[in-house]
Amino acid sequence: MQVFAEIAIIILPVFFVIGLGYLLRRIELIDDRFLYQANRLIYFIGLPSLLFHKIASADFSATFNGRMVAGATVVMLSGLTLSYGYAALGRKYRREDRGAFSQGAFRGNLAYIGLPVVFSAYGEEAFARAGMFMGCLVPVINLLAILALLLPHRKGTRQTGWSFWYRSLLSNPLVLAALLGIVWSYWQLPLPEIVARSFSLTATITLPLALLAIGGSFSLRKLRGDLVQATLASLFKVIGLPLLTIVFMLLLEVRGLDLGIAVLMAGAPAAAACTVLAQQLNSNTELAGSIILLSTLFSLVSYPVILYVLKIYQLGFN
């Protein structure tokens, strides 16, 4: 009974804030314009500040785990291979469905949901490690997501020039902030106290605002297209990927806190950016949107299950 109480304390506050965002939108205390501006603030200022500050102020040798990053990379490659292979063999999967299905099956909302869940589960100690892990993984995930969406059109005339890759990878504020933080941490560069405090104050608004924005954007009216496909991709994302992560991390002898962080980040529902990239690369945006919605709903159940497994088998807790 104590295990369930501990899990409830970890998960419920995260989803309570998401639910609060949903309620505020329904009673029109916040509106679409607020959500648009809030998401821009989070994406361009809040999350980059948070990532840079937490990573730059961390001890690189103590927070970076190469085997953890390698294992997560293999998991993402496996997720891409399995999901796209399944979609390519499925008769009902049109060309524009395959990329959206595959991307939604492995590209998680690490920043908006993964980090808050890790923080709620493990506290401040884990945040720098999770930030370092995410900083290494975000470029890989973005690259694989683009690959998943380009594969169905490999025989077509679709062209992606340098500007597209620049916008998708090199100009991504999360990628830039994380990479800069890693460099800062690796070389142990000093961070002036006034700068550190400024970043810290900016970062404090980020996670609550991100969760409120998710809740405010939540609407069952966004469920469109083939819901069977969306359900399969969502279940693989929030259940299959964490299970794969446990297997690969154990094979690489990643244990304790690092294993828990990797599994919780893997269990994050599909990223909101899935629809944006799907639209850019001629994929099924309705399917991408439905996967985001369903996987977020499913994560309310899957996260307690994941935490239960981690606690019972003492995998993610020292």
pLDDT tens digits, residue range 1-58?
688 888 999 999 999 999 999 999 999 999 999 999 999 999 899 999 988 998 898 8
**CA separation for the pair 152, 103 (Å, rounded):** 12
Rounded to an integer, the average pLDDT of 96-107 is 95
Average pLDDT, the chain: 90
What tokens were used for 39? 């998401």
Rounded to an integer, the average pLDDT of 253-269 is 96
Ordered domains of the chain (ranges, CATH): 2-312 (1.20.1530.20)
Residue 78 — very low, low, confident or very high, per pLDDT cuts 50/70/90? very high
What ranges in 151-240 are assigned the alpha helix state H?
A: 162-165, 173-186, 193-204, 206-217, 227-235
pLDDT in tens, 172-196: 888 889 889 999 999 999 989 998 8
Amino acid at 144: L
pLDDT at 161 over 80: no
Residue 168 — very low, low, confident or very high, per pLDDT cuts 50/70/90? low
**CA separation for the pair 198, 240 (Å, rounded):** 40
Whole-model pTM above 0.85? Answer: yes
